[in-house]
Amino acid sequence: MRKSVVVLGISVVVSVGVSLLGAGVAAAQVGSSAGAVVVWADLNGDRVKDKVTLRPVAGSKTQQELSATVRGKRYTARMPLENFAGTVRQPVVVDLDKDRRKEVLVVESVGANTDRLSAWRLSGRSLVPVTSGGKAVQIWQGGGVSGVLRYGCEQARSGGRFVTVSAELDWARDVYVGERVTYTVRNGKMAVIGRKHIEGARTDAAFQTKPGACA
């Protein structure tokens, strides 16, 4: 099945489905219990890793709950769970704005070859989503044969730099056509600083990203 989606503001057409989650991005000290998965991440920058748990919401097949225990206090947030199996995926620990306070990527939607992720951070007394243009960021990954959806990070002089690639296969010419978009990331907010038209083979350099650099 094909559908139109928005990748951080970029409209593309992809096949809906499951992809590998950010190859190379570490989520150290992972555990699981009774349908929940646990990672440890320093959410407030005090150099102490905090327990972060993701679990299905009891009695619901369409929601999951992210919780974090920081200095003895528990913070929670709920987000969609669109997975036929009804199970949660392992969160990925990242530092998108390079401020030493980690964010957590959560898989909200799982399909045959494409995943949709959101990014969450501790702000004050709440777990809140990373935003772009005032809206929660949606990160798409996968695309199958007909599309390329990737994300990664790059070095910047200050703050973080986030990159997305979104492209669709032009069947007539047998090339992928799309955009490479670069964002700055500061204080949990993404802002576009560059867009580049790309086309060619999916193995070309312009289509490559480094998710491992987001750690």
What are residue 185's DSSP bridge partners? 160, 190
Average pLDDT over residues 53-68: 96
Q: How far, in Å, are 42, 90, 100, 191 from residue 45 at the CA level?
A: 6, 22, 5, 23
Residue the block writes with tokens 């960021």: 137
Least confident of 21-30, 54-63, 111-120, 205-214: 21-30
**Segment 109-118, tens digit of pLDDT:** 999 899 999 9
Average pLDDT over residues 38-48: 97
Question: 79-88 in b/e burial notation, b at 16+ Cβ within 10 A?
Answer: bebbbeeeeb
Q: How far, in Å, are 11, 46, 53, 91, 112 from residue 38 at the CA level?
A: 33, 20, 4, 8, 25
At residue 8 the predicted structure's pLDDT band, cuts being 50, 70 and 90, is: low
Percent of the chain topping pLDDT 70: 84
**Segment 118-175, tens digit of pLDDT:** 999 999 999 999 999 999 999 999 999 999 999 999 988 878 899 999 999 999 999 9
What are residue 115's DSSP bridge partners? 110, 141
* Position with higher pLDDT, 110 vs 12: 110
Could you state, in order of their start, the residue ranges of all structural domains in the chain?
2-22+87-214
Output the 3-class SS for 86-98: CCCCCCEEECCCC
**Among 2-11, 13-22, 36-45, the range of highest mean pLDDT:** 36-45
List the beta strands (DSSP E) in 16-61: 31-33, 36-41, 50-56
Q: What pLDDT is stored for residue 162 in this prediction? A: 98
Residue 36's φ and ψ, nearest 5 degrees, are -100, 155
CA distance 48 to 208: 33
Average pLDDT over residues 51-71: 96
β-pairing, 92-94 vs 73-80, is unpaired
